[in-house]
């Protein structure tokens, strides 16, 4: 298997695999690497490791060298150029009266191109803006319209959990998040509870989804009938994390009981004990020991 290192070119940016050649690299090293855009300055995020051929994007490009002091100075200078380019671009957007929100500027390592990222409600004709910027900045200019999730990643902020946004702190790429994940985690009653600052479904819904899917194979659904030591009752609430069931018995008596204390293996998940499971949506529960 090929030996590779993982390199990122922007903070919390996507990690790309590169051939380290004969270089002795470790996590945190700054390097100069070949990319589709040319030579770029990046940071090693994943130390040397072997990766299967099928998991790599061919052709595998190389790390040219460990960054020198001059390379670090040039990268710092590019950050300063980006700040000035942002100011220039914002001024030009106002001059052209374009309905767009400027978010970021990124110079190539050699300064041959600057890419501006922006958001907008619809498509924007920015051809004249590009010509104006190229003449002013004296370099090749690209404008890239991004979605609301990428906008949140660039701007940053804090989520409802009180922590820094996952996308701006450690997520290098976005994985699909679906309404089914929210439903599996019993969050479908209040969409505001599982929407992020970007307005899309919370990225963290994906983190525990596999856990919820697995645990629910052992737990009955709300409304199912179960047999307890106090008699039969109907489940009115489930705590998936703790495995605790809230069961309503006769005369409106409610008890909390761990699912592991009940013999639920083989019972219908939807209807509980006594169900012959002849309906299409009936499904037997797995025993805890399975």
Q: Is the distance from CB of 23 to CB of 7 less than 8 angstroms?
A: no
The pLDDT value given to residue 246: 93
- The CATH class, in words, for 216-290 is mainly beta
pLDDT of residue 179: 87
Specify whether the CB–CB gap between 89 and 142 falls below 8 A.
no
What residue ranges of the chain have pLDDT lower than 50? none
DSSP state for residue 99 in the 8-state scheme: -
What pLDDT shows up at residue 230? 87
The strands making up 254-258's β-sheet, listed across from edge to edge, are 225-228, 231-239, 244-248, 254-258
Which residues contact residue 113 at a Cβ distance below 8 angstroms, ignoring those fewer than 6 apart? 37, 107, 139, 140, 141, 142
Distance CA 212, CA 228 (A): 24
Whole-number Å distance between alpha carbons of 183 and 222:
13
User: Which SS3 state, helix, strand or coil, does residue 25 take?
Assistant: coil
Q: Which residues have C-beta within 8 Å of that of residue 223, sequence separation ≥ 6?
A: 234, 235, 270, 271
Nearest to 129 by CA among 24, 137, 258: 137
Output the pLDDT for position 216: 83
| The pLDDT value given to residue 260 | 86
73-146: which CATH topology? GMP Synthetase; Chain A, domain 3 (3.30.300)
51 vs 49: CA distance, rounded Å: 6
- pLDDT of 105: 95
Classify residue 195 by its DSSP letter. B
Token pair for residue 34? 């070949």
| Cα distance between residue 117 and residue 104, in whole Å | 5
Helix%, strand%, coil% for the chain, nearest 5: 30, 30, 45
Closest C-alpha among 272, 207, 203, 266 to residue 236: 272
State the pLDDT at residue 289. 60
């Amino acid at each position: 298997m090929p030996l590779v290192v993982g390199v990122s070119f922007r903070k919390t940016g996507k990690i790309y695999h590169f051939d380290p050649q004969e270089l002795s690299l470790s996590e945190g090293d700054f390097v100069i690497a070949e990319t589709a855009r040319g030579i770029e300055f990046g940071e090693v995020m994943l130390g040397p490791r072997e990766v299967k051929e099928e998991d790599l994007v061919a052709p595998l490009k190389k790390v040219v060298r460990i960054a020198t002091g001059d390379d670090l100075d040039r990268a710092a200078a590019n950050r300063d150029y980006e700040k000035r380019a942002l100011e220039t671009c914002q001024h030009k957007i106002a001059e052209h009266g374009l309905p767009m929100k400027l978010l970021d500027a990124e110079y190539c390592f050699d300064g041959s191109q600057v890419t501006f990222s922006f958001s907008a409600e619809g498509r924007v004709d920015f051809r004249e803006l590009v010509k104006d910027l190229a003449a002013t900045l004296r370099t090749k200019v690209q404008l890239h319209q991004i979605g609301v999730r990428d906008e949140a990643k660039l701007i940053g902020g804090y989520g409802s959990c009180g922590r820094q946004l996952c996308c701006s702190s450690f997520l290098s790429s976005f994985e699909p998040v679906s309404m089914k994940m929210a439903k599996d985690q019993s969050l479908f009653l209040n969409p505001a509870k599982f929407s992020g600052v970007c307005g899309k479904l919370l990225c963290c819904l994906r983190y525990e989804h596999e856990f919820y899917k697995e645990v629910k194979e052992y737990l009955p659904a709300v409304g199912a009938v179960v047999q307890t030591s106090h008699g039969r009752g109907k489940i009115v609430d489930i705590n998936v994390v703790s495995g605790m069931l809230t069961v309503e018995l006769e005369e409106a008596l409610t008890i909390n009981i761990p699912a592991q204390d009940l013999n639920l293996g083989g019972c219908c998940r939807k209807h509980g004990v006594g169900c012959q499971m002849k309906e299409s949506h009936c499904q037997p529960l797995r025993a805890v020991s399975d």
